[in-house]
Amino acid sequence: MKKQAFNPYLPSWEYIPDGEPYVFGDRVYVYGSHDFFNGCVFCMGDYMGWSAPVNDLSDWRCEGVIFPRNGDPCNADGKMCLYAPDVTRGPDGRYYLYYVYDKVGFVSVAVCDSPAGRYEFLGYVHYKDGTRLGDRPGDEPQFDPGVLTEGDRTYLYTGFAGHGDKTRHGAMCTVLGPDMVTIEEAPVFVAPGDQYAEGTGFAGHAFFEASSIRKRGDTYYFVYSSEVMHELCYATSKDPRGPFVYGGVIVSNIDLGIDTYKPADRPAAIGGNNHGSIVEIHGQWYIFYHRQTNASWFSRQGCAEPIFFDGEGKIRQAEITSCGLNGGPLKGEGEYPAYIACHLYDEKKLDLYSGDPALPKVTQEGGDGDKRPAYIAGIHEGVTIGFKYFDCRNVRRISVTCRAYAHGRFEVRNAYEGPVLAQIPINSSNVWEKYTAELTFPDGKQALYLTYRGPGNPHLGWIGFEK
């Protein structure tokens, strides 16, 4: 790779959640919705395209606007938001973009000759009599489309099942014909919502939203966001129309359930909803997901982690990291931006969900679209910032670059609640200042945890390793 790959994998000023990754030709394309920095609701922007060479997952290229918010006749005034989309290659070799706006219950389709766009409106998914899916009496509203094409048939997965809502049964699958918009087989339910999960393998991890579908070998993997929102789960079937059997959690954006380095029931970050899917790139499978920033639900960023299957096709839950697509630990030398922290929490207030402005957060200066590097704010007594992983060799000094009112210290650890290896004193400053401490840092694959002690609220911009 030309450089190292981090999480988030796109620039720190870009907010593309709900990532659906695909390999088309020699590039990986990610299709997602488009949040704004300091956005007031979800998905305020046009669809933006991003892609990278399959052999260099650090080299992401912006393809520009692939579909504008007002590109559909039903939203000519641009007042509705484009929710999470998905893309599939049709039997004619063209690429089809499926999406739903925030205030309607039907699925729109756009088409393009290239996976990179620009997509043009085609029509709406409809029954043979012309009635749109979602408009027929008895139809449930459509939401978060996920698509898979095999031969002349396209399987469309949709649905939303809010907590306690008995009118929403769960995720559904609809079969489309070769024109990519006409229904050949009516919807069937493939995963239950929380009101219909009792007595099934889905109980406790019932379907909420974020339908996605992939095939590995002869097995279909239905990926979705569960009722607890911060996790992406999967279910499997040998038939795309089900029945699907619950498989487990692929990733949690707060690492709940991971017990390899901490208790399983303790969150390592402040999260929120989740959406993404799995993809194979050069023989390695990954899960793409998103994280929350700016102490808000509405400024989400894409992340990714490698995943591994056992001999029965089960997926082990992935641990969230700073090095996601890098193919291994980051080099334990030089400086790194603090926004690649994968762990961020207050030891006295272990919130599962974002939204409290008093909690630590990744943020930036300026407005949406300003290409200003992100940093960590909201730091106070007892806040921990964690990074994983680094390949360390002969590290003898650790540094932090900070600013703002503070007169305290950062405790340095290489393990969750491990012994303090060093302390880095910091002082108030209106400009970024670098502070260092000597220590003997262990060699090998290491985590880095920084816990703030003292008064004030420093900003953390960079961390560094020196030999």
Q: Domain with 71 in it: what CATH number? A: 2.115.10.20
- When divided into structural domains, the chain yields a total of 2
What is the four-CA torsion angle of 75, 78, 81, 82, rounded to 10 degrees? 60
H/E stretch holding 361 = strand 361-363
Distance CA(2)–CA(60), nearest Å, equals 11
Mark whether 259 and 124 lie in a shared domain.
Answer: yes
Domain membership of residue 81 (yes or no) is yes
13 in Cβ contact with 294 (< 8 Å): no
Mark whether 382 and 406 lie in a shared domain.
Answer: yes
Mark whether 159 and 228 lie in a shared domain.
Answer: yes
Q: Would you tell me how many other CB atoms lie within 10 Å of the CB of residue 185?
A: 13
Mark whether 462 and 408 lie in a shared domain.
Answer: yes
- Chain-centre distance of CA 277, in angstroms? 9
CA distances from 384 to 124, 156, 381, 401, 422 (A): 48, 42, 9, 16, 15
CA distances from 260 to 42, 121, 304, 419, 459 (A): 33, 47, 19, 17, 30
Distance CA(156)–CA(296), nearest Å, equals 31
Burial class (CB in 10 A: 0-12, 13-18, 19+), 72: buried
Among residues 251, 286, 315, the one where a domain terminates is 315
How confident is the model at residue 1, as a pLDDT? 80
> How confident is the prediction along the chain (467 residues), in pLDDT tens digits per residue?
889 999 999 999 999 999 999 999 999 999 999 999 999 999 999 999 999 999 999 999 999 999 999 999 999 999 999 999 999 999 999 999 999 999 999 999 999 999 999 999 999 999 999 999 999 999 999 999 999 999 999 999 999 999 999 999 999 999 999 999 999 999 999 999 999 999 999 999 999 999 999 999 999 999 999 999 999 999 999 999 999 999 999 999 999 999 999 999 999 999 999 999 999 999 999 999 999 999 999 999 999 999 999 999 999 999 999 999 999 999 999 999 999 999 999 998 888 999 999 999 999 999 999 999 999 999 999 999 999 999 999 999 999 999 999 999 999 999 999 999 999 999 999 999 999 999 999 999 999 999 999 999 999 999 999 99
Domain containing 381 equals 330-466
Mark whether 182 and 242 lie in a shared domain.
Answer: yes
> Which single residue is written with the structure tokens 């706006």?
101
Mark whether 96 and 198 lie in a shared domain.
Answer: yes
Domain membership of residue 2 (yes or no) is no
Mark whether 228 and 151 lie in a shared domain.
Answer: yes
* Torsion sign (Cα): 422, 388, 444, 257: positive
Domain membership of residue 380 (yes or no) is yes
Distance CA(176)–CA(299), nearest Å, equals 34
How confident is the model at residue 237, as a pLDDT? 98
> Which single residue is written with the structure tokens 């290229």?
61
* Torsion sign (Cα): 280, 340, 463, 398: negative
In 3D space, the residue among 172, 289, 157 whose CA is nearest the CA of residue 215 turns out to be 157
Among residues 315, 341, 371, the one where a domain terminates is 315
Q: What is the CA radius of gyration of the chain?
A: 22
Mark whether 344 and 370 lie in a shared domain.
Answer: yes
How confident is the model at residue 350, as a pLDDT? 86
H/E stretch holding 155 = strand 153-158
* Torsion sign (Cα): 16, 272, 344, 394: negative
Give the 3-state secondary structure percentages of the chain, helix then strand then coil, rounded to 5.
5, 45, 55
At 195 the three-state DSSP class reads helix
H/E stretch holding 251 = strand 245-252
The CA-CA-CA angle for residues 209, 42, 264, to 5°, reads 55
Mark whether 308 and 405 lie in a shared domain.
Answer: no
Mark whether 364 and 237 lie in a shared domain.
Answer: no
Q: Which residues are catalytic?
A: 18, 209
pTM, rounded to two decimals? 0.98
Q: Is the peptide bond before 118 cis (omega within 30 degrees of 0)?
A: yes
How confident is the model at residue 349, as a pLDDT? 87
Mark whether 243 and 369 lie in a shared domain.
Answer: no
In 3D space, the residue among 77, 24, 13 whose CA is nearest the CA of residue 48 turns out to be 13
Mark whether 293 and 346 lie in a shared domain.
Answer: no
Distance CA(45)–CA(47), nearest Å, equals 6
345 in Cβ contact with 278 (< 8 Å): no
The CA-CA-CA angle for residues 39, 41, 44, to 5°, reads 70
